[in-house]
Chain A
Amino acid sequence: MRIQTSQAALQHGLGVVARAVAARHSLDQLRHVHLEADDDGVRLTATDTEIAMICSIDAVVSEPGAITIPHRFINDLVSALSSSEITIDVADNSLVAQIRASDANESSINGMSPTTYPNIPGIGDGDWIKIVARDLRDALRHVVFAAATDDGRPVLTGVHFRFDGDKMTLAAADGFRLAVYDMNVATELSERLEITVPARALTELERLLTDDDAAVEMYIHADRTYVRFHVRAVQMTAQLIQGNYPSYDQLIPSEYQTRAILPGSVLQGGVRSAAVFARESSGIIRLIFSGESDDQSITLTARAEELGNHRGRVDAAIEGENSRIAYNVRYLQDVLQVASGPAVSEIAMETSGPSNPGVFRVVGRDNYVHVLMPMFVQWEDA
């Protein structure tokens, strides 16, 4: 194998695949990066067996071939090189990569046979879906955080994708909350399709996505065991989570008694102050909605055991009855984080009493809903 490439291209590629390197794994191969050169160019591959990242880099292939070398080692080396041109040579039947930089640095790195490297599943029968990068990124930002982190019910550690015609619905839930996001995709599938993608893979995918109109291609293998995303020069493959995802539509309340509308950033600011106190006990933050004609507001209170109390007030347009509800501050901040992004002006909070699930929406958009179970707490006057 003999390739010539730029230091920048190689460093970029190594950086992209680094997310899939299992740096602490006892299996050598999983700590390595796989280099492969052929007529299609040069590809770097890394996998921790849950996800795999393949990154194509600009390079001139003089002689095809492959080798796997320790990722951390070559990454550190390439970052340290200042020259612009790098040549990598691997003699036939050799397991040593000779790395020559144009500034007269010359190194050799001992590698392993590429035949021992895990196979990354390729493309075969299956479905292709085209999505705009910006839209997918927005969807992931609204949903992925709500997936479960403890793996008691494996399907809940993933994000559920439902394809119906040209509509794609993403949903994530962890037992206390549910986030659902609808969007349109450029491809219309002939039949309904449902898969569950590990949240972790989607977090990595989100990093790759840019805020533009670039097309992302999503490939779902016919046996529904893995999914692959093509984002520019990078392909990310992830194992799908098997098992039935719970049906969630009926968990979204269709009515409310009280609705508060206010700028997301205002509520976020109020919650941030209360959170200082709430975090010190069990994360309880209490919201009291006042819909009087002369006082339309939400009062936020939190108490820190032995440390002190907090009471804050934000103006809001309140529709319906006076009401109150207590949330875990962590979950509240999670949903406000995404629902009050730069593109969002106002959010709507809907409640039906302190013991029924509350709902968060973005005003002016009907494609996102977040359901959050309140905490049962003692109310002082109750």
Chain B
Amino acid sequence: MSRAAGRAVRDAAEPGGQTRPPIRQPARPIRELADPVAAQIAAGEVVERPAAALKELIENAADAGAERLQIEIAAAGRERIAVHDDGCGIAEHELALAFRRHATSKLERVADLSRLASYGFRGEALPAIAAAAGRVRMTSRPRGAARAARIEFEDGVSLGLRPAARAEGTTVEVDDLFANQPARRAFLAGPRAERAAILRTATDAVLARPGASLRLRLDARSPLAHEPAAGDAESQLRAAAASVFNNRAAERAAWLERRSEDGAVALDGLAGASDDARRTRDGLRLFVNGRPVHDRRLSFAVQEAYRGWLAAGAFPLCVVRLTVPAEAVDVNIHPAKTEVKLRDPGAAFGLIQRAIREALARESYRSPPRLGARSHEAEQPDLPDQAEPGSTTRPVFDGTGPRVALPTPVPRAAVLAEPRLGGWEQASSAVRDERLPPLRMVGQLHRTFIIAEGPAGLVLVDQHGAHERVVYERLLAAPEDAARALQPLLEPVLINLDAAEAASWSAARERLDGLGFRVEPFGERTLRVRAVPAALQTADAERLLRGVLADLGDEPAEPERFDRAAASAACHVSVRRGAVLDPPAMAALLRDLERCRQPHTCPHGRPTLVEIAADDVLRRFGRK
């Protein structure tokens, strides 16, 4: 018995991990499950929703070398899923075998399992689908064969083989997918969610194999029609991204290409511009050996790489395709194969981070005009000049009075993907060195903002965010810079840690050391703080360190990545919202911010300032 088969039997004995009370009926002898029962149990695992069935069918087509796929979906996949491909086809005498469990052409020996290069290998998908669905038909004509043949199943029972007409390739039609699984059917999400999942599956397929054309007809709409582009991997993937996302995003994304030092792991993909960031993780697509995966750690690596480029709560648009030696990855963790286990996750993690950061630093993204930047991009043609809808302003006074607009408190990601407003500045990305023009301090607003006058109008500066940015840049000044000095304490401070803090410290100690903390273990779960980074200018080492440890958690990170630790430390010493600042302090803060390299965002990615154009104010007063 192969390993896969053995696993399937174990799975069958413990159906899907469902927690039913054990049935104690010793009178009944143990026997092997009848085949249809086992098939239905397996179906529950493999085909949990229409999108999962579609995924299996698309992967089969890919394994058959298909270059054109057509997909038809009706009623969000409940009524009908049909996949037509132009692959190598299945010989007539093998059609029946394709529907037997663990029958597959792709895996012959246990040893092959560790060198999987094909998508399918378990041989579970087709029999599972056939067992679940009301009707399944497979029509296939192998290359060079004189005619096609069709096999048909109704409620899992074969109706036999018959000749059919079809061009070379294979068609699989699945009607009434969950006819024999009423429970599964009841637990399906609504049609909207199912359609979204189907679209995700189809778009993943395009990004994984941009060289094949794919057309999706989904409930009377055609949301995806991808035609491959000629050229190298980059132009092919850009074409795929254009089909899946949009042309602009695909065009301005940065190409990623990198190999690990030992050459074993290769990475390619596209890193979307910060202006194409999204509110959900939907634009973040990860593939390992062509297989779409949902891996928390790898997604985290991508998001981490974008730190500082994106606002808090925004997710990058990013396609990352890893190629690892087949034996360095285990995809056989779950029948749906969306989880993978990499033998060396750290290498992949580092590779992703380096590739993306390098690309981001290299690319000069087109970004909306921002305070202090040369305004050569002000005439971007497709930006609406005076956008009112989706506005980031809100009236403070209603009715007849003058409309005074304030920024909504949390614009962040919500505005990222939307067109910018003429007079409003939403600093979301700060890739370039964009110094501010001189700002004249006017006053304080709500004990939260500094009101300042800039060359083009009124500027509101978030006092906490601005201070964070100033301290952050001082902290991260290059080690040879004088700014990265230590301020030792007159008397070392002892701090007792709880278990969580101790774990954070062991994960973060190198990074803290690099920032200029001098902290050493002093007995069990006690630290002795001897010095703090001079840039922080606080003697309250205990509160600072506890705050930083709580922020960092025990999430591992590369030891040379100080930025999160620096952002956290900067946050804990910066002036709070609600603090009353005197004019000299505000003027000094503005002066410090003017000297920052990326003054438009705080280290967490939130805007530090918004600008209200004088023209806008004049217009509101009817003077222009």
Decide if A and B are genuine partners: yes
Q: Chain A residues in contact with chain B, CB under 8 A?
A: 148, 150-153, 156, 173-178, 246, 251, 280-284, 303, 305-306, 326, 328, 330, 355, 357, 371, 373-378
A328 touches B542 (CB 8 A): no
A376 touches B486 (CB 8 A): yes
A residues less than 8 Å from B493 (CB atoms): 175
Q: Interface size class for chain B?
A: 20 to 34
Known: A281-B482, A305-B482, A328-B537. 9 other contacts (CB 8 A): A150-B538, A150-B539, A251-B490, A282-B474, A284-B534, A305-B595, A373-B488, A378-B480, A378-B482
A173 touches B490 (CB 8 A): yes
Complex alpha-carbon distance, A284 and B474, angstroms: 13
Complex alpha-carbon distance, A330 and B534, angstroms: 12
A residues less than 8 Å from B531 (CB atoms): 376
> B43 within 8 Å of A by Cβ?
no
A282 touches B539 (CB 8 A): no
Q: Which of B534, B540, B541, B595 sits near A375, CB closer than 8 Å?
A: B534
> B97 within 8 Å of A by Cβ?
no
> B483 within 8 Å of A by Cβ?
yes
Closest Cβ–Cβ distance, residue A210 to chain B (whole Å): 27
Closest Cβ–Cβ distance, residue B251 to chain A (whole Å): 36
B541 touches A175 (CB 8 A): yes
Question: Given contacts A175-B493, A357-B490, A376-B486, is CB(A281)–CB(B474) below 8 Å?
Answer: yes
A residues less than 8 Å from B540 (CB atoms): 148, 150-153, 175
Q: Mark B454-492, 1 if CB is under 8 A from A, else 0.
A: 000000000000000000001001001111111111110
B residues less than 8 Å from A152 (CB atoms): 539-543
For B484, the closest partner residue in chain A by CB is A282
For B535, the closest partner residue in chain A by CB is A282
B residues less than 8 Å from A177 (CB atoms): 490
Closest Cβ–Cβ distance, residue B508 to chain A (whole Å): 20
Complex alpha-carbon distance, A269 and B481, angstroms: 26
10 A-B pairs, CB-CB below 8 angstroms? A175-B541, A176-B539, A251-B490, A251-B491, A280-B595, A282-B482, A282-B483, A373-B488, A375-B534, A376-B486
A178 touches B490 (CB 8 A): yes
A375 touches B487 (CB 8 A): yes
Question: Given contacts A175-B539, A175-B541, is CB(A282)–CB(B490) below 8 Å?
Answer: no
A residues less than 8 Å from B482 (CB atoms): 281-282, 284, 303, 305, 377-378
B489 touches A175 (CB 8 A): yes
CB contacts under 8 Å to A, within B227-266, are none
Q: Chain B residues in contact with chain A, CB under 8 A?
A: 474, 477, 480-491, 493, 531, 534-535, 537-543, 595
B491 touches A283 (CB 8 A): no
Closest Cβ–Cβ distance, residue B563 to chain A (whole Å): 18
B539 touches A148 (CB 8 A): yes
Q: Which of B485, B491, B537, B595 sits near A377, CB closer than 8 Å?
A: B485
Q: Shortest 7 CB-CB distances between A and B: which pairs?
A: A175-B539, A152-B540, A376-B486, A152-B543, A150-B540, A377-B485, A282-B534
B residues less than 8 Å from A174 (CB atoms): 539
Complex alpha-carbon distance, A251 and B539, angstroms: 16
Closest Cβ–Cβ distance, residue A307 to chain B (whole Å): 9
The residue among A173, A251, A357, A377 with the most chain B CB atoms within 10 A of its own CB is A377
Q: Which of B485, B491, B538, B541 sits near A282, CB closer than 8 Å?
A: B485
Q: Which of A153, A328, A371 sits near B487, CB closer than 8 Å?
A: A328
A residues less than 8 Å from B486 (CB atoms): 375-377
B residues less than 8 Å from A306 (CB atoms): 595
Closest Cβ–Cβ distance, residue B119 to chain A (whole Å): 55
Question: Given contacts A150-B538, A174-B539, A175-B539, is CB(A373)–CB(B487) below 8 Å?
Answer: yes
For A302, the closest partner residue in chain B by CB is B482
For A303, the closest partner residue in chain B by CB is B482
A355 touches B488 (CB 8 A): yes
Question: Given contacts A148-B539, A378-B482, is CB(A283)–CB(B534) below 8 Å?
Answer: yes
Closest Cβ–Cβ distance, residue A178 to chain B (whole Å): 6
For A326, the closest partner residue in chain B by CB is B485
Closest Cβ–Cβ distance, residue A4 to chain B (whole Å): 39
B490 touches A175 (CB 8 A): yes
Closest Cβ–Cβ distance, residue B591 to chain A (whole Å): 9
For B490, the closest partner residue in chain A by CB is A373
B residues less than 8 Å from A148 (CB atoms): 539-540
Closest Cβ–Cβ distance, residue B573 to chain A (whole Å): 9
Complex alpha-carbon distance, A349 and B73, angstroms: 85
Closest Cβ–Cβ distance, residue A244 to chain B (whole Å): 14
Complex alpha-carbon distance, A253 and B471, angstroms: 32
For B591, the closest partner residue in chain A by CB is A280
Closest Cβ–Cβ distance, residue A375 to chain B (whole Å): 5
A374 touches B488 (CB 8 A): yes
The residue among B474, B483, B493, B539 with the most chain A CB atoms within 10 A of its own CB is B539
A residues less than 8 Å from B541 (CB atoms): 152, 175
B485 touches A373 (CB 8 A): no
A residues less than 8 Å from B543 (CB atoms): 150, 152
B residues less than 8 Å from A282 (CB atoms): 474, 482-485, 534-535, 537
A305 touches B487 (CB 8 A): no
B487 touches A176 (CB 8 A): yes
Complex alpha-carbon distance, A173 and B486, angstroms: 19
Question: Given contacts A150-B538, A305-B477, A378-B480, is CB(A176)–CB(B485) below 8 Å?
Answer: no
For B492, the closest partner residue in chain A by CB is A175
Complex alpha-carbon distance, A283 and B588, angstroms: 14
Complex alpha-carbon distance, A371 and B488, angstroms: 13
